[in-house]
Structure formats: structure tokens, C-alpha cells
Amino acid sequence: MKLIQKVMGSLCLVTGVGISSVQDASAAGCALDLTAAQVQKVFELEALGAYDPVVMPRVVEMIPMTFHAVRMDNGAGGITPAQMDQALVDLNAAFVSVGMQFFQPGPILEVHDSEFFFNLDTQSKADALRQVNPAPGTINVYFVPSLFVGQSLCGLSSFSFDSAQGIIMANPCAGLPTNTSTFAHEVGHYFDLFHTHETALGTECPDGSNCTTHGDLVCDTPADPGLNEENVTDCAYNEILRICFRFYAPDPSNLMSFAPESCRTSFTVGQGERMHATLVNQRPELLQFSMCPGDVNGDEVVGLADLQILLFNFSQGGNPPGDLNNDGDVDLADLQILLFNFGSLCAM
């Protein structure tokens, strides 16, 4: 393995590929495709082994994330801390099954700039915002009231090889009951996942015969003709469409699809492997905090003593022992992290 350093409204979700900047918009405005240059870059990284499966970790990877709240010049307006907290909870619920969890190692950072607050309406402004006080070694997420880059967008993310790094989220698209999946979708892009309906790399056949070179390059995600609110009913695909002499049977529950937000709940094993490979090979700076998740008492073993402490503090707030994801509460998300790592010996 070669180590490479280096909407609001019902949305069709995060961009159908836009690689230098993945953009996620409403169902009426998802038309971004990979450019020829971007496709070439993907193939170069594939050839270098950047996305070859890595040894999956024995413990959950704890990944640092910095939140930036964009407000007016006078500090007024913008997202609330409670909504950002909920966005993190929703994100971790989506990622726990693939062994990745996110936490804030530092405070929420403020961006007091009325131009970004009211007029974030060009790619150059979006790129400029992501250069404002980024915290090194973390995923920088900027929360803005609205985002319009050619169309109303829910979020904008970067792939590991883009020049402008970071994620921008429109406030109505994260941390709210109406949309618990878009933030996870954007973070999936940050770890070099493409849309399940991607065609810039070639159209994937439903039988999976070309899955290693076409579509989203992940073989356990079914070929996707492009899910939307019209061809998904009650989270089930309702069309009869055939290509390569096979009928499509896409998965509306996949977080990287354009299915309705409420349907998207999960990643596949293959997507998890690709994200871990991206973490290790493309974004190793994010591994600085991955030590021994689940070890509540610091004895470098995740065991019964840790479980007892966590259960004793369950439902308690204020960052008590057992708050493994640093969201301020001991809850089910923390219990999932501990059970995922139960029995691990963390001393290396």
C-alpha cells in the first residue's frame, strides 16, 4: 500500500459528483459531474493504491472535527450551539456502523462576516470561507444560513485531493429532525465516496460486472440509475428500468444516494473500507486522536470496568466519565462505541 500524503427543501442531496467541490443541492438542481481532469485524478489515485482496503481497526477511529459558526459582523444570527450538537449526534449515529466517530477537540469558532452570512453565492466565496481560521489536523465544518453556488445547495464538501478543503453546511440541512442524513453524506464525500449513481467514471451495470472501474467504484453498492423523490416511494424504488440486460435494484437507504433524506441511513461495508483507506492514506493527519476509544478508566483495556462506569453515568450531561464522543452526554452513541471496542487491548 502506497501512503499518499497529502437546500434547503427536499434535497437530492449531496452532489452527484463534483469532485473539486462536491456540491449537494435540491432535487431540482443536482447536475454536477466530475470533470475529465477530476476523473483522471481518481484513476491515478486508484492506480497508486490509495483506496485499496486497509486493515480495519480493532477500535473505533475517533476523528477530530472543528465547527465554525458564520454570523453577521456584529456576531448576531447564525446556527445555535444546540443545533450543532445535534448535527454531531446525527453524524455519529450514521458512522458508528463503519467504526468512525467524530468529536470536537476544541471550541466552536466564530466567523463574524456579513458578506459570508448574507451572500455566499459563488464558488470563490465558498473557497474563501474555507480559508478562514481552519483548525489544522481536524475536519473544518462551516455552518452558514444559506449556500448558493449556481443553485441552492445544502452543503459543499471537498475530496482529499481538492485545493479548497473543508465542508460548508447550510443551517437548515443539519441538526434538525427534517434532515439527519445530509451531513453524513457530505462527510462521506470528504472521505472520497462518490454518489451511488455516479456516471462520470462510466455507467455501472446492475450485475456488478464492471463495479471496480465504473459507477462509484464500490462493488457492494448496487448500481443506481439516479434516485429521487419521484422514483422512491416509502423508501422503496418504484421504477422498472434495465441496462446491460439487467434490471436496476438500487438501495434508497444508502447515504450516498439521492433518495429522500429520511430514507438514507447507512453505508455499506465497501464504503466503510474506502473511507478508512482514505483516512489512512489520504488524511493521516486526522489520526492524531485515535488512541483507545471505550477505555473510560485509562487502563488501556476496554472491559467490564469501563462499561460499569459508563452505565453509572448514563443519561448524565456535562461531559462525565463515559462521554466517549465528547458531545456532552453519556448516551447510546457512547455505549455503541464501547461495545464496538469491548475486549480491545489498546496498548501497542
Question: b/e per residue, 220-241, with b = 16+ CB within 10 A?
Answer: ebbbbbbbbeebbeeeebeeee
CATH fold group of domain 294-341:
Type 1 dockerin domain (1.10.1330)
For the beta carbon of residue 26, count every other beta carbon within 10 angstroms. Answer: 17
The confidence band for 318, taking pLDDT boundaries of 50, 70 and 90, is confident
Reference 92, options 343, 334, 257, 296; nearest CA is: 334
- Cα–Cα dist 75/81, whole Å: 14
DSSP result, 31-94: -----HHHHHHHHHHHHHTTTS--PPPSSPEEEEEEEEEEE-TTS--S--HHHHHHHHHHHHHH
Q: Terminal CA-to-CA distance of the chain, rounded, Å?
A: 21
> Residue 65: what residue type?
M
| 1-290 and 294-341, same CATH topology | no
Looking at domain 1-290, which CATH architecture does it have?
3-Layer(aba) Sandwich (3.40)
Reference 297, options 312, 285, 287; nearest CA is: 312
Backbone angles phi, psi at 247, to 5 degrees: -85, 140
Q: Cell 473539486 identifies what position?
A: 20
pLDDT at 295: 81
- Cα–Cα dist 344/338, whole Å: 10
Q: What is the mean pLDDT of residues 256-285?
A: 95
Say yes or no to pLDDT of 68 above 60: yes
Residues near 41 by beta carbon (within 8 Å), at least 6 away in sequence: 19, 161
27 compared with 7, residue with greater pLDDT:
27
Q: What angle do CA 190, 193, 196 make, to 5 degrees?
A: 140
Give the burial class of 288: count Cβ atoms within 10 A of its Cβ; 0-12 exposed, 13-18 middle, 19 or more buried.
Answer: middle
**167: helix, coil or strand?**
strand
Say yes or no to pLDDT of 26 above 70: no
- Cα–Cα dist 63/178, whole Å: 26
Q: What is the mean pLDDT of residues 134-140?
A: 95
For 205, how many CA atoms within 13 A lie in the half-sphere containing its CB? 9
Q: Lowest mean pLDDT: which of 8-17, 137-146, 257-266, 311-320? A: 8-17
pLDDT at 27: 37
Say yes or no to pLDDT of 246 above 90: yes
Q: Cell 462536491 identifies what position?
A: 22
User: Residue ranges of the domains in the chain?
Assistant: 1-290, 294-341
C-alpha torsion angle, residues 61, 332, 78, 121 (rounded to 10): 50
Q: What is the mean pLDDT of residues 145-153?
A: 87
